[in-house]
């Protein structure tokens, strides 16, 4: 079971990761976080299907923070390549996407990416707030 969402900024993305950390009942397989110029793509992949109540609660939570996403072909191929075991570095080079995190969700990776990006620009774009 997979959930693929588009989120507007880093704070919302971190909330998803924190929610997954706080709710250990999820049979979490992986979480992939990609940064794009206009926002963030978050893919949550479960090992098994969620029971209907948990599925509904999780979808409601995600729908409060973002919108279901149908990415362009390049992003789909990047996500597929990560799931197939290719390294994030190779995927970033091949598909020109910013892979912030893949595997176990890590709030610190998102924060480190945000800080480094903002330091490089000298200002904080809305998507990194």
89: pLDDT strictly greater than 80: yes
**What tens digit of pLDDT does each residue of 40-81 get?**
999 999 999 999 999 999 999 999 999 999 999 999 999 999
DSSP string of 48-115, one letter each residue = SPPPHHHHHHHHHHHHHHEEE----HHHHHHHHHHHTT--HHHHHHHH--EEEEEES--HHHHHHHHH
42 token code pair? 């978050």
Distances from the Cα of 58 to the Cαs of 14, 23, 68, 107, 118, in angstroms?
A: 15, 10, 12, 18, 31
- Beta-carbon count within 10 A of 16 CB: 25
Residues 20, 31: Cα–Cα separation, whole Å: 9
Nearest of 53, 73, 50, 51 to residue 3 by alpha carbon: 50
Return the CATH number at 35.
3.30.70.1950
The model carries a pTM of 0.89
29 token code pair? 């397989």
Number of domains observed in the structure of the chain: 1
| pLDDT (0 to 100) of residue 109 | 84
What is the extent of the structural domain holding 87? Answer: 2-128
**What tens digit of pLDDT does each residue of 11-31 get?**
999 999 999 999 888 999 999
Q: What percent of the chain has pLDDT over 90?
A: 75
């Amino acid at each position: 079971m997979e959930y693929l969402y588009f989120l507007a900024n880093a704070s919302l993305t971190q909330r998803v990761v924190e929610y997954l950390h706080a709710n250990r009942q999820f049979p979490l397989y992986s979480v992939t976080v990609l940064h794009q110029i206009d926002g963030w793509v978050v893919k949550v992949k479960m090992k098994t299907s969620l029971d209907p109540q948990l599925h509904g609660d999780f979808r409601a939570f995600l729908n409060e923070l973002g919108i279901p996403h149908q990415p362009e072909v390049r992003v789909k191929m990047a996500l597929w390549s990560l799931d197939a075991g290719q390294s994030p570095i190779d995927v970033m080079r091949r598909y020109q996407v910013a892979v912030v995190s893949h595997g176990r969700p890590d709030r610190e990776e998102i924060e480190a990416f945000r800080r480094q990006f903002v330091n490089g620009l000298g200002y904080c774009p809305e998507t990194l707030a």
